[in-house]
Chains A and B, each alone.
Chain A
Amino acid sequence: MKNFFATRWGIIGTGAFIGVLAALLQKLGNPGNMGICVACFERDISGAVGLHRADVVQYMRPEIIGFVFGSLAAALMFKEFRARGGSAPIVRFVLGVFAMIGALVFLGCPWRAMLRLSGGDFNAIGGILGLVSGIWIGTLFFKKGYNLGRTSTSHAGSGFLLPLIMLGFLILMLIFPQVKDQAKSGILFYSVKGPGAGHSPLFLSLAIGILIGFAAQRSRFCTMGAFRDLILFKQTHLFMGVLSLMAAALAANLILGQFKPGFEGQPVAHTQFIWNFAGMAVAGLAFALAGGCPGRQLFMAGEGDGDAAIFVLGMIVGAGFSHNFGLASSPKGIGPYGMAAVIIGLMVCLFIGFFMRKGETQ
């Protein structure tokens, strides 16, 4: 059977679908220009379970859970579920940690970078330029033979572990639901102010997450891959999906009255161009070296890819470091140790890029 989603119209449709739903999620209560942000939402999950205690960013985001469920459903339905792993897991974990640290210096994953621009936040331009630069450095490593090694098929059960962790998170959320104006419910932390307090209704978020996860698994939607394939192969397939996401989100924002152009006073954003650029360059390089943007890593994890699952866990842990160590930015600007984190992140990614190559195994 031909996979419609893998066609040009399939990827364009998926991008548009995500763009519109993201704008809608913002209307339904998600934070400004953050209808969907994989990095921010995983950071909120990290806060919800207390891995960091930044009280403005704690919420068990159902969109993330939905992404994994939707991808799992699509993979099972179309017989693409295959438990696999074993391709340099520790490297993927470290890349996940620094991908998150870089993304939180900018304040967003590539999806949010696009959504910020579509909402009129021109600071996102610095982030997008950084993202493309990071990915470009990644393609240089690919040309030199950078490679994390082959995966092997694993026991089916291992492929279900990340989806099961997500199910556990959802169950925790149902057992310990948010209580108005309370920072804690049972064992889960919730924000009473700040971006963590802004969210659309739980089941709507979950349902939209599942729909996006399904479409993205079928279409292989990936924002990092979009730029990577464009630079490496001059292939526009995935890039069309990203353009379509931005165009659709822009149109939806204009209709919903959410388009507010400018640099100053943008929601959950700062105006330090150079650090928007540098943070996202580190993140872009980490995504490229790990083979997928944060969204794509969730969808691959839903297909049973244990290496992608480890990257996801690395990002969640990275969010803990980011906020505990003062690496993450805020609307006031970068955190006290943000600069150091960007430099260390870049060095770690370059180290991985240089040393993980064919012929470097012994």
Chain B
Amino acid sequence: MKNIVDARGLSCPQPVLMVMDAFKKIEKGEILVMTDTQASKENVSRAAESKGWTVKSVQEQNQEFHLKLTRS
């Protein structure tokens, strides 16, 4: 996957700002967002949904969250 937002270790609002930047670059498709706090996971999901993106899946591994955002 080409579109990756690595927001690990960053706290709000950075992860959401980075995802918003990614939304500006590509209008549709798939973005993988990596975060490492529940709060960032929730904030990114909320922001994505408000911009018409769908949180397709959330994978949790080693206290990291990988969110797959899609928009068609």
Contact among B11, B36, B50, B63 with A235 in the assembled complex (CB-CB below 8 Å): B50
What are 27 A-B contacts defined by CB distance under 8 Å?
A3-B38, A3-B42, A6-B42, A78-B38, A80-B38, A82-B37, A87-B9, A87-B11, A142-B13, A142-B14, A142-B17, A147-B10, A147-B14, A149-B9, A150-B8, A150-B9, A150-B10, A220-B42, A229-B13, A233-B13, A233-B16, A235-B46, A235-B50, A237-B46, A291-B11, A291-B12, A291-B13
Contact among A82, A233, A291 with B20 in the assembled complex (CB-CB below 8 Å): A233
Minimum CB–CB distance from B10 to chain A (whole Å) comes to 6
Count the B residues whose beta carbon is within 8 Å of the partner chain — how many?
20
Measured in the bound complex, the distance between the Cα atoms of B10 and A233 in whole Å is 18
The A124-158 residues at the B interface (CB cut-off 8 A) are: 142-143, 147, 149-153
Count the A residues whose beta carbon is within 8 Å of the partner chain — how many?
24
| 8 closest residue pairs by CB, A with B | A150-B9, A151-B9, A6-B42, A220-B39, A291-B11, A80-B38, A150-B10, A82-B63
Minimum CB–CB distance from B15 to chain A (whole Å) comes to 11
Minimum CB–CB distance from B33 to chain A (whole Å) comes to 15
Measured in the bound complex, the distance between the Cα atoms of B7 and A150 in whole Å is 9
Measured in the bound complex, the distance between the Cα atoms of B43 and A152 in whole Å is 20
Minimum CB–CB distance from B58 to chain A (whole Å) comes to 12
**Which residues in A have their C-beta under 8 angstroms from that of B9?**
84, 87, 149-152
Contact among A3, A6, A84, A228 with B13 in the assembled complex (CB-CB below 8 Å): A228
**Which residues in B have their C-beta under 8 angstroms from that of A232?**
13, 17
Measured in the bound complex, the distance between the Cα atoms of B38 and A242 in whole Å is 21
Q: Which residues of A contact B (CB under 8 A)?
A: 3, 6, 78, 80, 82, 84, 87, 142-143, 147, 149-153, 220, 225, 228-229, 232-233, 235, 237, 291
Chain B contact residues: over half helix, strand or loop, or mixed? helix
Minimum CB–CB distance from A81 to chain B (whole Å) comes to 10
Given contacts A87-B9, A142-B14, A232-B17, 11 further A-B contacts (CB under 8 A): A82-B63, A142-B17, A150-B9, A150-B10, A151-B9, A151-B11, A153-B36, A220-B39, A229-B13, A233-B20, A291-B12
Tell me if B8 and A225 are in contact (CB < 8 A).
Answer: no
Measured in the bound complex, the distance between the Cα atoms of B12 and A151 in whole Å is 12
Q: Which residues of B contact A (CB under 8 A)?
A: 8-14, 16-17, 20, 36-39, 42-43, 46-47, 50, 63
Q: Write the chain A residue with the least CB distance to B6.
A: A150
**Which residues in B have their C-beta under 8 angstroms from that of A233?**
13, 16, 20, 47, 50
Minimum CB–CB distance from A262 to chain B (whole Å) comes to 37
**Which residues in B have their C-beta under 8 angstroms from that of A142?**
13-14, 17
Tell me if B47 and A235 are in contact (CB < 8 A).
Answer: yes
Tell me if B12 and A225 are in contact (CB < 8 A).
Answer: yes
Minimum CB–CB distance from B39 to chain A (whole Å) comes to 5
**Which residues in A have their C-beta under 8 angstroms from that of B10?**
147, 150-151
Measured in the bound complex, the distance between the Cα atoms of B7 and A147 in whole Å is 12
Q: Write the chain B residue with the least CB distance to A220.
A: B39
Minimum CB–CB distance from A193 to chain B (whole Å) comes to 41
